[in-house]
Amino acid sequence: MKTSNHQPKILIIYTGGTIGMIENPETLALQPFDFSHLMDNVPKVKKLHYDIDNIQFNPPIDSSNMDPSHWRDIALAIEENYDRYDGFVVLHGTDTMAFTASALSFMLENLSKPVIITGSQLPIGEVRTDGEENLITALQVAAAVDERGRPRIQEVAILFENYLWRGNRATKMSADNFNAFKSFNYPELAEIGLDIEYNTLYLRQVPPRPLKVCTDMDCNVMFLELNPGMTEQTLDYLLHTPNIKGIVLKTYGAGNTPTHPWFIKCIKEAVDRGVVIVNVTQCVNGGVNCSLYETGKALLDVGVISGYDITSEAAVTKLMFLFGQRYTAGMVKKYMASDLCGEVTIP
Ligand code: ASP
């Protein structure tokens, strides 16, 4: 792997999660690891000969507690340090990692340096941990440059075990396998084996423009996942959630829903009230094709927009981001049907 001639300078942002746990030698209990002692606890990192600094969440959090205020803290830390570092490694719990990766991809406009998010299934302090390897590979990816000395990765990516995935395309797919993430609708950015093999054709290349950080997110959005037997009362109740502006409607297959007149009527009324409803499939692989079946087409006719092959994590954070920019419902619909930073394939 090629790195630039100067010593790579990497900032680690440690937010918490399983990766940061280590055994207390006296009590034997797992406790959060102090990353200011990174080199003592993971001595292999020294062999990279990088100049590494770190910032820590105080206290570190389980990623189930992540919310837009934490995404803002991460984005602002990157903005403040953008010119001083070659790359950024964010250590994060796995549970909501795909949401954070998606949110950051929207918040960090014109990003042209690597932001590599990683974590682990076993604490870094355990003998058989995957955390040490993930951390070291993430640092290497964050430092990697191409033949012309430009960062290999110029986007938010998730590094986990054998793969590097585009952050806003990835999903947590396993609660216990070391290969915990996958992007079902976009190829891996790199495969980690004996070497780190970059999938050059699929890497994001951005024209050089100043980084623009927009951290306002609007939380008046939600998932509405269909299940057979959902009653009109339930659907109508959910669609009337107070202050709701955007809904990711998790539909069946290629974007299908029941065609009962009451179902379409409830959805139409919500759209007419100004709620932006995005059709995203419950399937992990493939996307929504509203013109394939009558059921999907009925939604399109009442103003539901297609999410195409976007992940639900990216769809919900994109809605938060767009409403956070105070766009009108019409503008939000327009941007939901556009690719902002590699999150969706528009046919
Ligand atoms: N609950 C943990 C978290 O997301 C799980 C993990 O890190 O794997 O913070």
Write b or e for each residue in 90-126: b if 16 or more Cβ atoms lie within 10 A of its Cβ, otherwise e. Answer: bbbbbbbbbbbbbbbbbbbeebbbbbbbbbbbbbbbb
To test ligand 1's pocket by mutation, which of 57, 62, 120 has the most ligand atoms within 8 angstroms of CB?
62
Residues with CB under 6 A from ligand 1: 16-18, 62-64, 93-95, 119, 121
| Per-residue pLDDT, 295 | 73
Q: How many CB atoms lie within 10 A of CB 29?
A: 8
Q: Encoding tokens for residue 184?
A: 């079902």
Is the CA virtual torsion 64, 68, 73, 75 positive or negative? positive
Q: Find the 303 Cα to ligand 1 centroid distance in Å.
A: 38
Q: Torsion over CA of 10, 16, 22 and 28, rounded to 10 degrees?
A: 160
The predicted model scores a pTM of 0.95
Q: Find the 148 Cα to ligand 1 centroid distance in Å.
A: 37
CA 135 from centre of chain: 18
Q: Find the 69 Cα to ligand 1 centroid distance in Å.
A: 18
Q: Find the 122 Cα to ligand 1 centroid distance in Å.
A: 9
Q: Torsion over CA of 172, 109, 289 and 262, rounded to 10 degrees?
A: 90
Residue 247 contacts residue 237 (beta carbons within 8 Å): no
C-alpha 153/C-alpha 146 separation (Å) is: 9
Q: How many CB atoms lie within 10 A of CB 195?
A: 9
| Per-residue pLDDT, 207 | 87
Q: How many CB atoms lie within 10 A of CB 253?
A: 16
To test ligand 1's pocket by mutation, which of 21, 70, 94 has the most ligand atoms within 8 angstroms of CB?
94
Residue 251 contacts residue 283 (beta carbons within 8 Å): no
Residue 332 contacts residue 120 (beta carbons within 8 Å): no
pLDDT tens across the length of the chain (347 residues): 544 568 999 999 999 999 988 777 888 877 777 777 777 778 889 999 999 999 999 989 999 999 999 999 999 999 999 999 999 999 999 999 999 999 999 999 999 999 999 999 998 878 898 999 999 999 999 999 999 999 999 999 999 999 999 999 999 999 989 999 999 999 999 999 999 999 999 999 888 899 999 999 999 999 999 999 999 999 999 999 999 999 999 999 999 999 899 999 999 999 999 999 999 999 999 999 877 777 778 899 999 999 999 999 999 999 999 999 999 999 999 999 999 999 999 98
CA 207 from centre of chain: 22
C-alpha 183/C-alpha 167 separation (Å) is: 9
- Is position 18 annotated as part of the catalytic site? yes
Q: Encoding tokens for residue 148?
A: 């012309």
Active-site annotation holder among 18, 129, 137, 311: 18
Atom of ligand 1 nearest to the CA of 96: 4
Residue 42 contacts residue 124 (beta carbons within 8 Å): yes
Closest CA to 78 of 137, 170, 156: 156
